[in-house]
Amino acid sequence: MKKILVPFLLALASVSASQVALAAKKGGTCYSMNNGEQYTCSFLNAKQRFSVEDLYNSGYRVVAYRAPIPTSPAHMIIIEQQ
């Protein structure tokens, strides 16, 4: 009985942890045309610019960054709620 119960409990814990990781999080893309210092995030407030520090203080984290290509000065980040 003990040999069956331990793997079952481990599998149950694994499934529970994966469900938390798959929960929907709010986020989106932000872009910058000034060397990545201030970002515009249309889903937050299209008229306001945010620094990365501002985004972290607002409860978001950067999950991806796209560096500018030679023909475009645009920096892009993808953020999500922490």
- 13, two tokens: 């814990």
Mean pLDDT of 26-31: 91
| Residue the block writes with tokens 């008229």 | 47
**What is this structure's pTM?**
0.65
Domain of residue 43: give its range: 25-81
pLDDT of residue 70: 86
Residue 32 lies in a domain: yes
Residue 9 lies in a domain: no
d(CA 23, CA 45): 24
Residue 35 lies in a domain: yes
More confident residue, 42 or 4: 42
Residue 66 lies in a domain: yes
Residue 16 lies in a domain: no
Mean pLDDT of 16-30: 69
Q: How many structural domains is the chain composed of? A: 1
